[in-house]
Amino acid sequence: MAQEVCVIVDAGDRARLAAITSDRNRPQKHVQRARIILLSADRLSVAEIARQAAASRPAVWRWQARYALAGVDGLLRDKTRPPGRAPVPTATVAKVLALTCSEPQGQATHWTGRAMAQASGISLRSVQRIWDTHRLQPHRLRSFKRSNDPAFAEKVEDIVGLYMDPPMHTVVLSIDEKSQIQALDRTQPGLPLKPGKCGTMTHDYKRNGVTTLFAALNVQDGTVLGRCMPQHRHQEFVRFLNAVERAVPAGKLIHAIADNYATHKHPKVRAWLERHPRWVFHFTPTSASWINAV
């Protein structure tokens, strides 16, 4: 009986269906459904329609019946389907949210998806969907520290002002040091990169002690002057300042931004600054080394 279905298409629907099949921006499923109805209107057999439309015979019968019931608009929308799995109850969602915002059980540092699934009695994927919907990320932790410097605002304005609008004929340097850098070397030299082969190196290494990197970043042109020294006492810091003094052209003032490390405020460092009047130190607020660009 399905082979004898007669589809009647009026002129208006035929024009709409032809426009759908010729529209390259249409979804392919809409084009296929429109082609099925146009071929059906030409009185072709179901087998021939299925062959030309690249569809199965049940699909042809289904869209013929849909067109008969809802017209062209019925071809352009899919029927809503009931969910294959019942949604998570609201009480369970509330339980997951409450547990996520509380301390984890046992010795764990944070909630994991599997631990939450076990505690709430739902699947891991359900926990992940709930976290994603409510924008919860228990695996992430953002640290902070509030500065208690009474002159915090004044120091920030001073340093940011140097960054944004440095005075004329000056060099703005951001100075800091990184200590305890391990000087490592491989036990054997590696082989270089070759066509078809990657570079190689030994898995073990030997220690050559530690070093300290002193660096001065010129915030105006991005150049960095660095020196490696065995320690980071005031003696090494003065030697680094001498190196920077020689590198900066004469006739320019130097504004140096540094943190509150004791070496930077040592009496011998202050005496060195008195002997070099073109240097001006700007110290960052306490617990605010993040403002030091280097």
Q: Which of 17, 18, 14 is nearest to 76 (CA)?
A: 17
| Percent of the chain's residues with pLDDT above 90 | 53
Residue 279 has pLDDT above 60, yes or no: yes
Burial of 91 (0-12, 13-18, 19+ CB in 10 A): exposed
| Direct distance between the N- and C-terminal alpha carbons of the chain, in angstroms, rounded to an integer | 82
- The mean per-residue pLDDT over the stretch 22-27 comes to 90
- The mean per-residue pLDDT over the stretch 69-90 comes to 82
Buried b (16+ CB within 10 A) or exposed e, 255-270: bbbbbebebbebeebe
Q: Would you place residue 184 in the very low, low, confident or very high pLDDT band (cuts 50, 70, 90)?
A: confident
Give this prediction's pTM.
0.56
- The mean per-residue pLDDT over the stretch 41-59 comes to 90
Kindly report the average pLDDT of the chain as a whole number.
89
Residue 5 has pLDDT above 70, yes or no: no
Residue 3 has pLDDT above 60, yes or no: no
- Residues 200 and 186: their CA atoms lie apart, in Å, by 11
- Tens of pLDDT, residues 223-262: 999 999 988 899 999 999 999 999 998 889 999 999 998 9
What local confidence, expressed as pLDDT, does residue 176 receive? 92
- Tens of pLDDT, residues 156-166: 999 999 999 88
- Tens of pLDDT, residues 106-122: 888 889 999 999 999 99
